[in-house]
């Protein structure tokens, strides 16, 4: 018996010691960041692979099924990623792989999501797929039944977020048609709403699609954002030109951190401003990002000895310089049937 006990101890004691040691990890130096940010989850998305491909669909290992019947090509992605931070350096990296995801809503007319409305719901969804296909409006569309349609090939640019700005801790992006994938929900949002307006099937499908795209392109959680967070109007230097998903995107249900709490890069990095309409549309959740961006600007003004208006003017010039460089990188023809900033409107189908 004593021999048996000794043998057991010889096996299990090292195991429990190793587990205890694994729990205690030395604290490393905190990562250097250029703007205040909440930490991303340490674990990235799991490895997702394609299980099956037929003439009209693809199946992935996480259960995602993509309808590819309506997919079209536009032009290959081509963009410049600029170093983030305050340094006035124009040296950017030319790239062609997607760096993030912008979530949209179609802002199209919505029938009640009820069994008795099946015919109307199906007709509306089919009409919408054809409409966004003609306009090359998004890379993916998720209808109200949770069906995922590839509209524009992932390798190509869609006309979903032309005048837009986003930044992670390392890189800054402008005009996100080329740098970010566009994923849209057949849905309509209201200013300041707090609850998601999409169906449970859409939530599940979007979570699987997001997981697959992040796995394939190494997209950080911080670069999964809403159209309202990135949209800008260069004509008046205001944020919020489009306000779909301004306040109610279900980040947590997508397996993502609440990116509404990130400082809005358009304000913090390029000196854009905002008005009362945007505050009303954004609601309390995204207003936190506005406050953080304004605080970052105020600190920078104090550090440089500039007034806040002078700093904004300097940063706005930097935006125009970056925009010009990005446009030199992109072919002159943006795409058939849609404007560069994605402001596509037709009877019954105003796109977000």
**Alpha helices, DSSP H, located in 136-275:** 200-217, 227-230, 265-270
Q: Can you say whether the dihedral through the CA atoms of 329, 333, 337, 340 is positive or negative?
A: positive
- pLDDT score for 329: 84
Measured CA to CA, the distance from residue 208 to residue 225 in angstroms comes to 16
List, run by run, the mean pLDDT of 10-residue segments along the chain (352 residues): 38 34 31 36 76 96 97 96 77 93 95 93 95 97 97 97 94 96 94 81 98 97 96 96 92 94 94 91 87 94 95 95 90 44 39 62
Which three-class secondary structure state does DSSP give residue 66?
strand
Strands annotated E in the chain: 50-53, 57-60, 65-67, 79-83, 93-95, 100-105, 140-142, 148-150, 165-167, 171-174, 180-185, 224-226, 232-233, 238-239
d(CA 352, CA 345): 9
Q: What pLDDT shows up at residue 351?
A: 62
Question: In order of start, what are the domains of the chain with their CATH numbers?
Answer: 44-329 (3.40.80.10)
CB atoms within 10 A of CB 112: 9
pLDDT the model gives residue 280: 85
The Cα 327–Cα 175 span in angstroms is: 9
Task: Provide the pLDDT for residue 43.
Answer: 59
CB 225, CB 102: distance < 8 Å? yes
| pTM attached to this predicted model | 0.83
DSSP H helical segments within 145-233, as ranges? 200-217, 227-230
Distances (CA, A) of 143 to 110, 148, 160, 205, 337: 11, 7, 17, 10, 22
State residue 90's pLDDT score.
Answer: 61
For 121-185, strand residue ranges (E) read 140-142, 148-150, 165-167, 171-174, 180-185
Pairing of strands 79-83, 93-95: antiparallel
């Amino acid at each position: 018996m004593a021999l048996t006990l000794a043998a057991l101890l010889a096996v299990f004691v090292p195991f429990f010691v190793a587990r205890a040691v694994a729990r205690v990890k030395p604290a490393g130096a905190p990562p250097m960041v250029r703007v205040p940010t909440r930490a991303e989850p340490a674990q990235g998305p799991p490895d997702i692979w394609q299980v099956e491909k037929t003439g009209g669909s693809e199946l992935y290992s996480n259960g995602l099924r993509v309808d590819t019947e309506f997919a079209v090509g536009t032009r290959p992605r081509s963009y410049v990623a600029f170093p983030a931070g305050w340094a006035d350096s124009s040296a950017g990296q030319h790239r062609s792989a997607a760096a993030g995801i912008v979530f949209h809503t179609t802002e199209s007319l919505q029938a009640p999501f009820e069994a008795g409305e099946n015919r109307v719901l199906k007709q509306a969804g089919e009409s919408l797929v054809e409409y966004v296909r003609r306009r090359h409006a998004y890379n993916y569309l998720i209808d109200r039944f949770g069906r995922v349609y590839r509209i524009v090939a992932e390798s190509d640019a869609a006309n979903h977020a032309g005048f837009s700005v986003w930044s992670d801790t390392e890189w800054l992006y402008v005009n996100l048609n080329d740098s970010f994938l566009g994923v849209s929900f057949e849905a309509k949002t209201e200013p300041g709403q707090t609850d998601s307006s999409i169906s449970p099937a859409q939530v599940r499908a979007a979570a699987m699609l997001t997981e697959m795209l992040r796995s394939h392109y190494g997209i950080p959680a911080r670069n999964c954002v809403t159209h309202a967070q990135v949209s800008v109007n260069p004509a008046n230097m205001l944020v919020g030109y489009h306000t779909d998903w301004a306040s109610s995107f279900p980040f947590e249900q997508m397996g993502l951190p609440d990116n509404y709490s990130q400082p809005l890069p358009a304000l913090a990095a390029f000196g854009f401003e905002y008005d009362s309409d945007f505050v009303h549309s954004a609601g309390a959740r995204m207003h936190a990002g506005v406050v953080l961006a304004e605080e970052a600007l105020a600190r920078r003004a104090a550090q440089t000895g500039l007034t806040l208006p002078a700093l904004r003017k300097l940063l706005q010039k930097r935006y125009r310089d970056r925009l010009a460089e990005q446009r030199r990188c992109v072919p002159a023809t943006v795409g058939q049937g849609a404007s560069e900033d994605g402001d596509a409107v037709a009877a019954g189908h105003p796109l977000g």
